[in-house]
Amino acid sequence: MDKILIEGGNRLVGEVTVSGAKNAVLPLMAASLLVDGWTTITNVPNLRDIDTFKVLLSHLGCDIESVGPGTLRIRTVNVPSPEAPYEMVKTMRASVLVLGPLLSRFKKARVSLPGGCAIGARPIDLHLMGLKKMGADVSIDHGYVTVKAEKLKGAKIYMDTTTVTGTENLMLAAVHAEGTTVLENAALEPEVVCLADALNAMGAVIKGAGTETIRIEGVRELKPVEVRVIPDRIEAGTFMVASAMTRGNVLLKDCPLGYLESLSVKLREAGAEITEEAGGVRVIGDWPIRSVDIKTIPYPGFPTDMQAQIMAMMTIASGLSVITETVFENRFMHVGELKRMGADISVDGRCAVVRGVKHLSGAPLMATDLRASASLILAGLVAEGKTEVSRIYHLDRGYERIEEKLKRLGAKIERVKE
């Protein structure tokens, strides 16, 4: 296993290009199951989660070609056994996204229930509720869910909780249903819109993506397309925070600032300067950093996937920051590690109170989940002395060569074999 070593104290200066969005690629890969022909996806980042999804699709019988950097081609002629096994699903819960397309095209799917994960229980009850409403027969046994339907029927589905992959899964199931499906309280995330745009290009009839109500009219045939993945707003946000907290001056190229309004507001409140230029978005950090309060809510609110990163910044701000995590019930795994660096944080349920300290001190740390790992890397950039982050396979799930990108910006950082 690799680990990352950081010598803190350097300002980040220079340019960085934002990679394609992991959480847009995964549903697009699932969508390729719907068509008999080569689906081409471009601007694909080199990430563990995408490799895992490739293994799953190959297991299902898909042909997969990586044609040059960032371009993926997938063809699904037939799926002899539409089953996603436990050993694959347990490493990546987004595997449940194959449920909708497999059911829609092959009338059956059997997927291991994802089980819990570090940040929360993360059930898929709403995915299954929606499939049931569309007429699927849903059964659970031996840790697997089996869904079957000769022909799905359009239905009106209200999701009690806004769920990103739930919205995506039901959209993927509804494209061939008889009649119209209406998803109420749907997720508004840009990745949902990216999927809807791709499905419409394939011949689907989907209206309202990006709003709370999405209407999907079932169609008979879809055709394969080429689709470019939107930039990763969470990677971009992570680099924006990195510049802001190191008194940096970083130009982010291919930065989807339009998807980052809530983060930008908070970074400006904290004292950062964020400006759009011809070549991208420039983020200049100020000192002292001002403490801001954060409450994570579904898009377009402050993203839960940026909570750990902004917390790292608040540990060295000049006041008190109250951070409330409303989306997941256990997404403060980074707190214990940040405290070992000297951060002053107290957690009460879904609320963390962060009192800024003069400085953090480098320490040996252990990553626990994807965004917590990013938070520890950011803290290492500003800590006095050496920081060592182990178990960075968590980091590699969602960041493409982050240490190389940070090194090019002036960070003293390297990846070593554990």
User: What is the binding site for ligand EPZ (CB under 6 A)?
Assistant: 22-23, 26, 93-94, 120-127, 161, 163-166, 304-305, 327-328, 370-371, 398
Burial 240-276 (b: 16+ CB within 10 A, else e): bbbbbbbbbbbbbebbbbebbebbbebbeebbbebee
Distance CA 264, CA 274 (A): 7
- Residue 361's contacts (CB-CB under 8 Å, 6 or more residues apart) are 341, 342, 383, 384, 385
Pick 294 or 316: Cβ nearer ligand EPZ: 294
CB of 331 to ligand EPZ, least distance (A): 8
CB of 260 to ligand EPZ, least distance (A): 14
The pairing of strands 320-325 and 294-296 is: parallel
Q: Are 15 and 280 in contact (CB under 8 A)?
A: yes
Which of 117, 194, 255, 351 is catalytic? The answer is: 117
CB of 300 to ligand EPZ, least distance (A): 11
Residue 62 annotated in active site: no
Pick 96 or 251: Cβ nearer ligand EPZ: 96
Tokens of 250: 């970083």
Distance CA 246, CA 241 (A): 9
Q: What is the number of residues in the chain?
A: 418
CB of 160 to ligand EPZ, least distance (A): 8
Tokens of 232: 């990763």
Distance CA 35, CA 106 (A): 11
Q: Are 163 and 190 in contact (CB under 8 A)?
A: no
Residue 270: DSSP 8-state: T
Pick 176 or 331: Cβ nearer ligand EPZ: 331
CB of 350 to ligand EPZ, least distance (A): 11
Distance CA 108, CA 118 (A): 30
Distance CA 168, CA 100 (A): 8
Name residue 162's amino acid.
T
Q: Are 28 and 191 in contact (CB under 8 A)?
A: no
Tokens of 384: 């006095």
CB of 343 to ligand EPZ, least distance (A): 21
What is the C-alpha R_g of the chain? Answer: 21
Lay out the sheet containing 364-366: strands in order across.
364-366, 386-390, 2-7, 412-417
Q: Are 406 and 242 in contact (CB under 8 A)?
A: yes
Distance CA 158, CA 13 (A): 47
CB of 415 to ligand EPZ, least distance (A): 21
Active site residues: 117
